[in-house]
Structure 1
Amino acid sequence: MSHANAALTPRARTRLALLVVQSGWTYTAAAKMFMVSPRTAKKWADRYRAEGPNGMRDRSSRPRTSPTRTPPAVVKRIVRLRWRHRLGPVQIGGRIGLPASTVHAVLRRCRVNRLSHIDRVTGEPLRRYEHPHPGSLLHVDVTKFGNIPDGGGHRFVGRQQGRVNGSATAQRTGERGKHSRPKIGTAFVHTVIDDHSRLAYAEICTDEKADTAIAVLRRAIAWFAERGVRVERVLSDNGSCYRSHAWRDACADLAITHKRTRPYRPQTNGKIERFHRTLADGWAYARFYDNTPARNSALPGWLHFYNHHRAHSALGGKPPVTRLTNLPGHHS
């Protein structure tokens, strides 16, 4: 494609050349009509005579040889420093004696010019994956949120008032922990996400035991089945509930292949880890809740918003439900 300031496009070049070749116009007259120099008019007319309409196309201006291009060995050193030490162009240039602009050009050419493209732990390029259809893989995990005392938690009312609210709640419920401290409890949110569509299912439970996780999995599979999704695999971390024999037997009973992430490698389950942050920002800490039941009752509405209305950056700004092409009536 011609650049923005080009005087002639391929179509205009053809018109100019035809005026000279077929209509007998002089180079000067044709050049004046298209506001270019006679030399330019002659160039396109000669090229039309030699190559025909194909000669009017744009050609690459890249030189056949680049003798001053950065040698491959130096490129390897630059990329190695970028991967292993996450250094910027200035620091890399200082180490190997090159201008920062040259280093930046090499990093751009190798597509590692942004640190977001590199794994922060290993320094290796990120390996992103996505399964081909809904149900091919489900991610499962558990995230925890502290329960909210009556009157609100410390995030919104401050630590001093939060302690007062916690003591009042413990006095009402009779729940006390170590050293008679108020015991508010923890909400265990079991989450399930489809790898392809990012469609999410979540439940608030009182623990993260194997029986609870299995019951959530069964209900999640039934929920996905109602939406036309047949589950084939499930991916979990190495939590005790997912390493149990009961979980293994439940997956076999459901005809699902169970896969676990590599130990100490949460990036493999990164989609659901990122969903937990979205869950915290969009639901758990999004607004003031004066008690735990108020927060719990807001979860179904937020999940509906996430699945049906919230623009997802990984899906081109569309909500997850748009990827369920097998959902009856979905496009109506």
Structure 2
Amino acid sequence: MNNPHKNARTTPHIRALIVDRALRKQQPVRDNASTFGISTHTVYKWLARYREAGEAGLESASSRPHASPRQMPKQWIELIQKMRLTLKWTAKQIAQALGLAYSTVTAVLRRLKLNRASHLEPVQPVQRYEHPAPGDMLHMDIKKLPRFDRPGHRVTNNRRQNTRGAGYECVHICIDDHSRWAFARVLPDEQQGTTTRFLENALAAYRGIGVEVKRLMTDNGPAYRSRRFNAVLQREGIKHVYTRPYTPRTNGKAERFIQTMIREWAYAVPYVNDISRTRALTDWINHYNKQRPHGSIGNLPPMSRIPKEAVIKSAA
């Protein structure tokens, strides 16, 4: 074990110097201890270990005891694990059945990461999919961001300089499932009127690059379920698909885009205020769509997946 304890006064290198000064240079033990700021007892300890095991004795030994008489036998741990997984019993039920202390069973389950009921369910595999063409499916979502009048702690690392409470603004986003081409706007709220206008602007932006939208996926938020919002979709012949309740991963592409946007735009620069942050969004979106490599599409920018003939046709 070569890593010394974090509070250790000596390292294997220092211990070798202590031994060298004591044995080869015949330095008095008291002077040797004073040189390295340690006790005479420590000097004698490392000399004894060197005489017993040579240079190997100067390495740091494990602090774990040689024996753990109170440690639970492996068979008992395996039995607790089996009862928890197969019978779905609680720690209290297992403790009563085996005649063990409740705290002991709880500690074992915590070490096994079986202390929560959710840990008993098998992890659902991530189902990745991609629609075959631009416009086959758009994902839409909203992210709230706090307004501010000076840089906050996430960019200054100083929590003592709190900004005055200024409320929130909403970043409405839309991303194409196939190409990952994105559209986003910072708007004052998430009311149905605001959200519907964003939808109309987003559809116009996609038409501007030659993409006709066929489906739109959103969560079950009130604005997305409103008659006004759905009237636009019906008029445009777009099928509205809702995510399953309490399952944000269903709209995973929107969620991942928001994470990237927050990391690379919202908190990447110490903006003077939220107004300067909003102004920077357009440039970042253009960079994301036209230049930034996207790992899920072969490290190419989203615009590379928009057919050139569609772009030319829309510009004509």
Q: TM-score range by the shorter chain?
A: 0.5 to 0.7
Alignment of 1:47-86 (within 5 A): none
- How far, CA to CA, are the matches of 1:121 and 1:190 in structure 2? 34
Change (3 A) 1:260 1:294: same
- 1:154: Cα distance to partner? 2.7
Residue 328 (str. 1) matches residue 311 (str. 2): yes
CA distance in 1, matches of 2:160, 2:269: 19
Residue 256 (structure 2) aligns with? 274
How many residues get paired?
194
Q: Are the counterparts in 1 of residues 183 and 285 from structure 2 also a CA contact under 8 Å?
A: yes
**In the alignment, which residue of structure 1 is the partner of 2:224?**
242
CA RMSD of aligned residues (A): 2.1
- Which of these residues, 219, 224, 247, is aligned with residue 206 of structure 2? 224
- Change in CA separation of 1:128 and 1:318 when aligned onto 2, cut-off 3 Å: same
CA distance in 2, matches of 1:263, 1:196: 24
Against the structure 1 CA distance between its residues 146 and 289, is the aligned structure 2 distance closer, same or farther, given a 3 Å change threshold? same
Distance across 2 between alignment mates of 1:279 and 1:148? 18
Distance in 2 separating the partners of 1:155 and 1:132: 39
SS of structure 1 residue aligned to 2:169: strand
CA distance in structure 2 between the partners assigned to 1:121 and 1:322 by the alignment: 41
Supply the AA of the counterpart residue of 2:283: G
Q: How does 1:88-99 map to 2 (within 5 A)?
A: none
SS of the residue 1:162 aligns to? coil
Q: For 2:236 and 2:138, locate their aligned partners in 1 and report how far apart those are by CA, in whole Å.
A: 13
Distance 2:287 2:266 in 1: 14
Task: Specify which of 192, 198, 208 is matched with residue 174 of structure 2.
Answer: 192
Do 1:153 and 1:290's aligned partners in 2 also have CA atoms closer than 8 Å? Answer: no
> 2:155–2:267: 8 Å Cα contact kept in structure 1?
no
Render the CA deviation track for 1:115-156: whole Å, top value 9, x for unaligned.
xxxxx986122211111100111100100111122x322323
Distance 2:170 2:192 in 1: 13
Structure-2 residue corresponding to 1:124: 124
TM-score by length of 2: 0.58
- SS of residue matched to 1:139: strand
Q: Take 2:178 and 2:311, find their aligned partners in 1: how far apart are those partners? A: 18
TM-score by length of 1: 0.56
Which of 190, 196, 199 is the matching residue for 1:208?
190
Unaligned runs of 5+ in 2: 1-84, 86-119
Q: Percent identity?
A: 40
Q: How far apart in 1 are the matches of 2:126 and 2:242?
A: 19
Distance 1:303 1:278 in 2: 11
Is the contact between residue 148 and residue 289 of structure 1 (CA under 8 Å) also seen in structure 2?
A: no
Q: Partner residue of 1:162?
A: 162
1:304 matched to 2:286? The reply is yes
What does residue 145 of structure 1 align with? 145
The separation in 2 between residues aligned to 1:248 and 1:329, in whole angstroms, is 30
